[in-house]
Structure 1
């Protein structure tokens, strides 16, 4: 479930980044609202993912996926230039994300979910 939370958090990270551009310095009301909600939701879902994942893995993947998504959609939505340097950075980020996920799976360093508290008898 942590990886699903991390994916959701990453989507909100992309919405936050793209929304920030659309706010025009937070002078446009609805884009500003969407941006602030996306930022809060992204951090919330990241915090859920970090209950299980190491922060070094979760945060890095969150920012990496957010970066790749932002560059991709920024190119499509805002007609930003996509050049060889950006493509190379894409490949490196995706490789790093995959490497972190594989290393996390192999090392067994993820923390188990906290057990439910035992009922208290009176």
Structure 2
């Protein structure tokens, strides 16, 4: 169950990152509220996961999910350019996440 909580924490991180972009510097109140709520949920779930997982593992995976998910969201939602360098870099992050998981 801890891994599901950590996954949900990572997905919540993606949600608040997207919300941060959509809020346009917190100039849209409802989107800003969604962003802050997503941030709170993400940190809360990470805190729960840290009860059972080591910091290096949980935080690394949480950040990795957020980075990869936010990049993918940027590609699809905001038409950010996809380059080979970006894809290779994201692949390395995924390999790092897998390595952290396998090391546990």
Query: Aligned Cα RMSD in Å?
Result: 0.6
The 3-state SS of whatever aligns with 1:27 is coil
Equivalent residue, structure 1, for 2:16 = 16
Q: Which runs of 4+ in 1 moved over 6 A?
A: none
Pairing 1:28–2:28 present: yes
Cα offset, 1:59, TM superposition: 0.4
Which has the higher Rg, Structure 1 or Structure 2? 1
Q: Under a length normalisation based on structure 1, what TM-score does the superposition of the two structures give?
A: 0.84
- Deviation sequence 1:23-46 (CA, Å, 0-9, x none): 111010111010000000000000
Cα offset, 1:73, TM superposition: 1.0
Equivalent residue, structure 1, for 2:52 = 52
Q: In 2, Cα distance between the equivalents of 1:63 and 1:22?
A: 20
Equivalent residue, structure 1, for 2:66 = 66
The 3-state SS of whatever aligns with 2:63 is helix
Cα offset, 1:2, TM superposition: 1.0
Where do 5+ consecutive residues of structure 2 fail to align? none
Q: As a proportion of its length, which structure holds more helix?
A: 2
Equivalent residue, structure 2, for 1:114 = none
User: Which residues in structure 2 correspond to 1:32-111 (within 5 Å)?
Assistant: 32-104=32-104
The 3-state SS of whatever aligns with 2:24 is coil
